[in-house]
Amino acid sequence: MPATCVVGLQWGDEAKGKIVDLLSDDHDFVVRYNGGANAGHTIVWGSRTFRLSLLPTGVLKPAVKSVIGNGVVVYPPRFLEEVDSLAAAGIPVGDNLTVSDHAHVIFPYHMEEERVVEGASDGGALGTTGRGIGPCYQDKVGRRFAVRVGELLDEDHLRERLQFIVPYKNRLITALAGTSGVAPKAFDPKQVADEFIGYAGRMRPFVTDTSRQLHAGLAAGKNILFEAAQGSLLDVDHGSYPYVTSSSSLPSGIWGGTGVPSRQVARIIGVVKAYTTRVGRGPFPTELADATGERIRKVGREFGTVTGRPRRCGWFDAMAVRYTAQLSGADEITVMLLDVLSGLPELKLCVGYTLDGVDIDYFPSDAYRLERCVPRYETLPGWVEDISTCRTLADLPAAARRYVDRISELAGLSVAVVSVGPDRDQTIRLR
C-alpha cells in the first residue's frame, strides 16, 4: 500500500510541516487535500526557515512531485507569491508542482465577505484567518457562484462568469455590511477579470487533472504522502463546530479532496504537540490564561504563521486527542515541541471532563457543550534539563520519558517520533 497521511490531532499548528519534510525524502508525491492559504507550515533547515501557507511542504524538494488537490481553495496571487519566494531562495519550482483544475478559486470578494461578517459587532465572529476560506467553500457547495482553477484558463469564459458573479457579490456584501457597521467595498467585474487573467497566464503550466496524475502515480507504484492542512479538531464535520474551518482536515478529506480512494492509505501518522494550542475563537477546556500559558507561548514561539496572532496555550488534552486519534484512524503518533515544557515544575494532562456536574470520559464536539466542560487533570513531575540536544529516548530525563509514555497510553497509540526542536536533526526516532 503506497500512501501515508500526516494529520494533526489537535487544533492545528502541531508542527506537521517538520514531519512531512522528514517523510518527503521517502515519497514521490506530497499532496494537499484541503484548506487554502489559511494553513501555516514552518520548515527549518539549519539556519534557513521556510513558511508555506498554500503550497505543499514537498515543494522544497524538487525531486518530489507536489500536488494541490481539488479539495483545496486557491488564491492565485498567494500561489504565485510562494512560488516566487521559493525561487528567490534558490529553490526552483517548475513541473514538480501541480494544481488541480477542479480546485476552487478564492477572489478578493470572498475576503471582503469574510471581513464584513467577522468584523460585525454582533458577537457572531468565528475568529477566522481572513483568507476567504469560508466564503469560497460556501460558493463551492452552492455551485452557482463558484469558479474552478481550470476556468481561469479560458479568458472569455472567465469574463462571462465574473460579469454574472461580481454584481451579485456586491449586493450580498452590501447587505451583510448593512447590519455590521463595517463599510463594504465594491468590486468591478472587469477589473477582477483583468487581474485574474494576469495570474492565470502564470499559473497555466501548473494546472492539470491532478486526480488522473495521482492515479497514474499509483499505477506506477509511486509513494504518496498526504498532508492535512488544519488540525482534526478544526474538521468541518467532527471538530468543535462552529469554531472550525470549512473543509475536511481529517483523512476522510483525502478521497473527496484528491480522488484517491482511502483504501490506498496504509499508514496514518497523528501529530500532537506536547501541550495544546488554538488560534481564533472557540472553546478550549485546558487553556491556561496565566503565567504558565504565557511562558509556553514565549518559549514555543506560539504566534500564528499566517496571521501572526498569539496562539492560546494550554495543557495536553488527552480527551481531545483520544477522540481525534479514533476519528483519524491514526496508527501512531509523533510528539512535537517537548523541549518547550523543560523547566516547568509540574505538568498536567487532562484525563477527563466534568460536564454540568457529571464526569464524562468522551469529547463533546459541539462548541456549546465543550465550553461547559471542566477538565480533570493528572499531574506529573517536570524536568529542568535542556533536552534540545537529546537524540535517543535514553538521552531524555526520566520525567520527560514518563510524560511521553503517559501521552502514548492516554492516546492509545505508540509514539514514532519525539521532536525536541524545530530543526530536522532535533528529532528522536523511535521507529
Q: Which residues in the 201-260 window bind ligand IMP by CB under 6 A?
A: 230, 234, 243, 245-246
**Of the two residues 323 and 403, which places its CB atom closer to ligand IMP in the complex?**
323
Distance between CA atoms of residues 275 and 288, nearest Å: 11
Distance between CA atoms of residues 206 and 59, nearest Å: 13
Stretch that binds ligand IMP, among 34-42, 71-79, 293-301, 375-383 (CB under 6 A): 34-42
Q: Which of 12, 17, 314, 364 is in the footprint of ligand IMP by CB under 6 A?
A: 12
Closest approach of ligand IMP to the CB of residue 351, in Å: 25
Q: Which residues in the 123-182 window bind ligand IMP by CB under 6 A?
A: 126-129, 131, 133-134
Burial of 85 (0-12, 13-18, 19+ CB in 10 A): middle
Binding letters toward ligand IMP, positions 38-67, x by CB under 6 A: xxx---------------------------
297-311 exposure pattern, b = at least 16 Cβ within 10 A, e = fewer? bebbebebbbbeeeb
**Of the two residues 42 and 258, which places its CB atom closer to ligand IMP in the complex?**
42
Q: Cell numbers 506537521 correspond to what residue?
A: 16
Does the protein bind ligand IMP through residue 32 (CB under 6 A)? no
Does the protein bind ligand IMP through residue 324 (CB under 6 A)? no
- The answer to whether residues 57 and 41 touch, using CB atoms and an 8 Å cutoff, is yes
Closest approach of ligand IMP to the CB of residue 288, in Å: 18
Among residues 236, 200, 211, the alpha carbon closest in space to that of 102 is found at: 211
Q: Which of 13, 139, 302, 317 is in the footprint of ligand IMP by CB under 6 A?
A: 13
Does the protein bind ligand IMP through residue 4 (CB under 6 A)? no
Distance between CA atoms of residues 72 and 91, nearest Å: 23
- The answer to whether residues 41 and 22 touch, using CB atoms and an 8 Å cutoff, is no
**Residue 255: partners with Cβ closer than 8 Å, 6 or more residues away:** 261, 262
Closest approach of ligand IMP to the CB of residue 81, in Å: 17
- Helix 189-203 to helix 76-88 angle, to the nearest 10 degrees? 40
Q: Kindly list the catalytic residues.
A: 13, 41
Does the protein bind ligand IMP through residue 96 (CB under 6 A)? no
Closest approach of ligand IMP to the CB of residue 177, in Å: 19
Closest approach of ligand IMP to the CB of residue 228, in Å: 9
Residue 21 backbone phi and psi in degrees, to 5? -60, -45
**Of the two residues 234 and 336, which places its CB atom closer to ligand IMP in the complex?**
234
**Of the two residues 38 and 170, which places its CB atom closer to ligand IMP in the complex?**
38
Q: Which of 64, 236, 279, 341 is in the footprint of ligand IMP by CB under 6 A?
A: 279
Distance between CA atoms of residues 19 and 22, nearest Å: 5
Among residues 106, 112, 119, the alpha carbon closest in space to that of 145 is found at: 106
Distance between CA atoms of residues 34 and 44, nearest Å: 23
Does the protein bind ligand IMP through residue 419 (CB under 6 A)? no
**Of the two residues 102 and 131, which places its CB atom closer to ligand IMP in the complex?**
131
**Of the two residues 279 and 337, which places its CB atom closer to ligand IMP in the complex?**
279
According to DSSP, the β-strands at 358-360 and 346-355 are antiparallel
Quick one: cell of 142? Answer: 452552492
Q: Which of 280, 300, 364, 421 is in the footprint of ligand IMP by CB under 6 A?
A: 280
Question: Which residue has the CB atom at the shortest distance from ligand IMP?
Answer: 280
- The answer to whether residues 374 and 294 touch, using CB atoms and an 8 Å cutoff, is no
Does the protein bind ligand IMP through residue 9 (CB under 6 A)? no
**Of the two residues 98 and 246, which places its CB atom closer to ligand IMP in the complex?**
246
> Contact positions toward ligand IMP, by CB under 6 A?
12-13, 38-40, 126-129, 131, 133-134, 230, 234, 243, 245-246, 279-280
